[in-house]
Each structure stands twice: as structure tokens, then as C-alpha cells.
Structure 1
């Protein structure tokens, strides 16, 4: 069975609104909720970037059923991995076992703010590997001292540790990353509906099999609204950065850089890649590519803060019915 999730977009909504949307999304029937973890929005038009972990604590208390997940946190620059281990354990306790720690190697947009530069992708992957090792060790409940190439930990101990371990999903984009990280992770995270990501993961020795017990968690932007033209305008204003792809987006440092990189992206270009307007069947057809590629969990991104209440009140329920019927 495919699970369908709702994305709490910290780049387009303030903290109090995100908590309210989280509660409404649970009531609308979503299976899980994912939250982005950014220091800055991609574009100034989005206008927000609250601290995701504070919001997650509030969301854990405002909801009772849905799974929760970071999508994704970089545990190697803004945050030391020992700190990520502590706060992941705390969110797991607050949510009573509903939390999954989604990790990735980061984006320049968020990580450059600490003034440590922006490493090459190979270095970032080495840092992520060490970070996962540290988090895993700290979550055993043992006293940890660690000496690595990129990180040191000195006599660290997680004092409030949940009985149910925090599972880890890792964002991957290609074969090299999958072969390296699949044996270290519990779940696959990706934003492209590519069947080769799932099949490659399942071919790696030591990797948990997608479907049982591992999940393949994808994400897709949509812009539902009663007026298709208005929805296209909103998607273009807020989400034209999406056209750049991960390799470009990971390296741009500021919203101004994203604005410059996307200045020639037209509304019709965005509409070609993001389903916009009131047609729920078109949204279903766009999401279909993920479950056909073998993804078990698919999170929807409803673009635009102003549209969230109407989407959750009017469209989410009927859309979930159509998605579940089509994915059986």
C-alpha cells in the first residue's frame, strides 16, 4: 500500500501556520508529514524560514497519528551530528515513536551561513557518513567518544533516549550515493520518480529492502487551486527554482542566486512540470510516476501559503481518495 504525505514547507509559511496546517493535514487523512529544514527560502517571494526543529516539537504535540520526518536535515555543517542525535531523540519522545530522521549532504543556501565554506560533493558525502556513524552510536545509549576525519565527539551521552530507535532516511540522487549510503540507512529519500533508484538500492548488499522493511520516500510539488491561471502564476512565483535540478540547486548560495538562475523560466515551463489548477485527476497522473517506480511513500507539496487552508479543507480529502484508489 502506498502512503501519502503532506509537506510542511518552512520556506513558504511561518511557524504558527505550519503547526495549524499539520493538524489540519492529519484531520484531512494524510498518512505522514515531512518538514523541510532551511535557514533561507530559495526565493525571496516565499518569505519564510523558521527553525524546523522548534516547529517539529510543536507539531508533535498538535498531532497524534501521522508519521513525522525531516525532509531533509544536513547533520554536518549548521548542526554537529551529536546535536542532531540529541534533538532527533527528543522529537521521537515527543511524538511517541512517530519520527523518522531524514538526512542529506546539504545545500549551500543553508550551510554557508556558518562561514565554513562549501565543500565539494565528495567531502560532503564523507561528512554525512561520519555524521550517521555518530548519530547511530549515540542512539545506542552508550557514552561516545569519536575521532573522525571531519568530526570529533568527546564523552557524549544522550540522556533522554526513546525506547523506539529513531530510523534514518538518506537522500540520494544517483548510483554512487545509493551504493554508499544504502547499507547505512533505514530508508531511501529522493525527489525524482526513478525506478532505477529503487532497484539499485535493493541490489546493494546489506541494504534493507524497499517495501519490507525499508521505505522509498518521494516528494512532488503541486499547485491546486480553483483558477488554473492563478495557480500557474503562484507556482511560477514561488517554485520556479525547482527547474534547476539538484546539481544546480545544491550549490547556489542565496535567494538572489536562485532568482538570477531562474530569470528565464517562464510560467508555462513551470506548468509543464507541476500540475496546477483544480483538476485532481491531473495531479493523480503526476503522482502516479512515483508509485509506478516503486516508491512506498509520496509527500505532496502544495505551493503557496495562501492556498493551504482551502487545499486542506476542500481538495485534500477527495484527492487522497483518488490517489489511494489509483495506487491499489
Structure 2
């Protein structure tokens, strides 16, 4: 069966309403959830960015399904601190929490005032961070003196079974590298051939964990309304990935996409009032052997989306064998 999850976008809603939404998603039939871990939203128009880790504790208590987070140890968070957060949630909610680790984005990490490294350095820093976290979660006392410095750190409260640590990745090269260390891999929706290449890179390099895909979509009562929502809330999707890692303020993303048309935005995600069109698209993703699909409606009003997709999309999608 395909796991069908709800994506909780901290960039777009206040934490209180997002907590209500994730509980409603479980009631509607979604079987999992995940969230973003941003310090700032992508756009001034989005206007929110709650602290994911505080919210996760409340969300896990308010639900019974699995929840995960995409986060970046190494700059904004020391990996020993990230390991402690991960361990605490996994100890309180056994088998229900996972984290996906990535090399980060300047919009979130620049706040420390430290230099924002080139991508190859960030990737190397991520691998060192993963090693530190794995050792701490295994109960070791850790000292390190590389890109990541650690002095005799030890986790005193740990889960009986360490949680899954996925890799957050976009390119086949990153998927290939992730196969050596990750318990699974999560990416964003891409053109079908590109997504197939990504999965093949992970599997072909020895990756045996689950593959998850986060799908951004826009749904509303009419196509015009769905298009207006996408244009208002999600036009940063037009910024290429290599540049999105480097821009460090919501205002920069807004400036880059100020002239974007609704039609241009609609080329980056599925925009439709017809749930069956969304289902067909999602079934195509599942057919590639994807184990988990997390749905993110890019609007700020989630109730009707959750109800409609919980009734008309989730059951059909869940029935797909992977």
C-alpha cells in the first residue's frame, strides 16, 4: 500500500491552525503527515514560519499516525542538538517520528551570521552531521574536530529504536550519495522522467529504504480559483533549485518572481478543481514504485481540501501496491 500523507506548511499558516489541520487530516483518512522546518517563509505573502519542533510535539500528541520533518543540521542547528530533539520525539512517540536531513537553504541558515558555504562544502558538512547524529543515537559519547566540532556529547534520553533518518534530495547525484547513509529518501514532485531517474539513482546505488515524494498542488472549487491560489502563494516554485538554495530573504524570492504570470506558475504544479485529475497524476507517481506521497495543497484554507481529497483521492491512492 502507498502511504498518503498530509504536508503541513509552516510557511503559510500559524501553528495553531496547522495543528487543527493535521488532526483533521488524520480524521479524513490521511495515514501520515510531514512538515517543513523553516525560519522564514518563501514569500512575504505567505507570512508565517512557526518553530517546527515545538509544533511536532503537539502534533504527535494530537494524532496517532507518523509524522516527519525535513531539516538541515550543521549551521542553524548543531547536529548534537538536532540529535537530542530527534531522540526526544522518538522516545515519546515510538515508531511514529522520522526526520529527513538536507544540506540546507540560505533563507533559513543565514540567520547565524556565519558564512554560507558552497554546495560541495554543505554536502560534506551534512555527511559529518549525519555521522555525529548516528553515533549519538546509538548511545556513544562523541567528540569530533572536523567541519562539525563536538566535545564529549552524549544523549542521556534515547528511544529504544533509533528513528529513521531519510535524505532530503532533489538531483540524481544527491540521491546516489544518499544511498550510502540514508534509511530512505524524500524528494519533490518532478517531471516523470526526472523522477524515474532520481529513483533509479537511489536504488541503483544500493538504496534500500523507502522513497517518498512531496507533491505541491492547487485545488479549489473552480480552476480559476485554484490558479489564483497558486499564483498568490506558490510562485517561488519558478526559482531554480540551485538559486533557491542561495537567496536568503523572502523579499528576494518575491523580487525574482514579481513578473510571474499565473500560467507560468501553473507549469510547476498541478492546478485543477477536478480531484480526478489530481488522482491520475498521483497514481502516475505511485506507479514508479514510490512508497509515500505527501500532499501539499498550496492554499491557506485547508479544510475543504482535506475533506474532498480524504474522500475522493486518498482511498484510491492508498490502494496502490508499491
> How would you bin the TM-score normalised by the shorter chain?
over 0.9
**TM-score, scaled to structure 2:** 0.94
Matching of residues 246-257 of structure 1 within 5 Å: 246-257=241-252
Secondary structure of 1:50 counterpart:
coil
Q: Is 1:26 aligned to 2:36, yes or no?
A: no
Tell me if the contact between 1:220 and 1:301 (Cα under 8 Å) persists in the aligned partners: yes
Change in 2 beyond 3 A, CA 1:289/1:311: same
Deviation track 1:253-300 (CA, whole Å, cap 9, x = no partner) reads 111110111122211122233223420111112223422333211111
Q: Which residue of 1 aligns with 2:35?
A: 35
Match of 2:15 in 1: 15
* Correspondence for 2:313: 319
Q: Partner residue of 2:163?
A: 166
Partner of 2:123: 125
Assess if the C-alpha contact under 8 Å between 2:80 and 2:153 holds in 1: yes
Matches within 5 A, 1:157-236: 157-193=154-190, 194-204=195-205, 207-209=206-208, 214-236=209-231
Please give the TM-score of this superposition, normalised by the length of structure 1: 0.92
- Give secondary structure in 2 for the equivalent of 1:322: helix
Matched residues in 2 for 1:123 and 1:152: separation?
A: 15
Gap change, CA 1:264 and 1:327, over 3 Å in 2: farther
Do the aligned residues in 2 keep the contact of 1:195 with 1:294 (CA within 8 Å)?
Answer: no
Say which is worse superposed, 81-90 or 168-177, in terms of deviation: 168-177
Instruction: Check whether the contact 1:239–1:303 (CA below 8 A) recurs between aligned residues.
Output: yes
- Partners of 2:62 and 2:319 in 1: how far apart? 29
Cα offset for 1:310?
1.8
**Considering only aligned residues, what root-mean-square deviation do their CA atoms show, in Å?**
1.6
Aligned-partner SS, 1:10: coil
Aligned equivalent of 2:239, options 223, 237, 244: 244
Q: Residue 69 of structure 1 aligns with which residue? A: 68
- 1:12·1:48 contact (CA, 8 Å) conserved in 2? yes
Does the aligned pair in 1 maintain the 2:175–2:199 contact within 8 Å?
A: no
**Could you tell me how far apart the structure 1 residues matched to 2:204 and 2:317 are?**
29
Instruction: Show CA shifts across 1:44-76 (max 9, x none).
Output: 111100000000010010011x11111x10101
Structure 2: distance between partners of 1:176 and 1:272: 24
Q: In the alignment, is the contact (CA less than 8 A) between 1:7 and 1:300 conserved in 2? A: yes
Q: Which residue of 2 aligns with 1:79?
A: 77
Secondary structure in structure 2 of the residue aligned to 1:30 = coil
Where structure 1 has 5 or more consecutive residues not aligned to the other structure, the ranges are: none
Which consecutive aligned stretches of 4+ in structure 1 deviate over 3 angstroms post-superposition? 324-328
- On the 8 A contact 1:61/1:94 being kept in 2, the answer is no
CA distance in 2, matches of 1:251, 1:289: 32
Tell me by how many angstroms 1:38 deviates. 0.2
Could you tell me how far apart the structure 1 residues matched to 2:207 and 2:223 are?
42
Counterpart of 1:134?
132
1:108-142: per-residue Cα shift (whole Å, max 9, x none)? 11111111121100000010000000000000112
Aligned to 2:294: 299
C-alpha deviation, 1:229, in angstroms: 1.1
Distance in 1, Cα, partners of 2:319 & 2:133: 39
- CA offsets 1:163-216 (integer angstroms, 9 cap, x no match): 121111001222332332211111011114411111121222xx342xxxx111
Secondary structure of the residue aligned to 1:190 is: strand
Unaligned 5+ segments in structure 2 are none
Given that 2:71 and 2:101 are in contact with CA atoms closer than 8 Å, whether structure 1 keeps it comes out as yes
**2:286–2:320 CA contact under 8 A, matched in 1:** no
SS, match of residue 216 in structure 2:
strand
Deviates more, 1:318-327 or 1:52-61: 318-327
- When the two structures are aligned, how many residues end up with a matched partner? 318
Q: Shift of the alpha carbon at 1:327?
A: 6.5
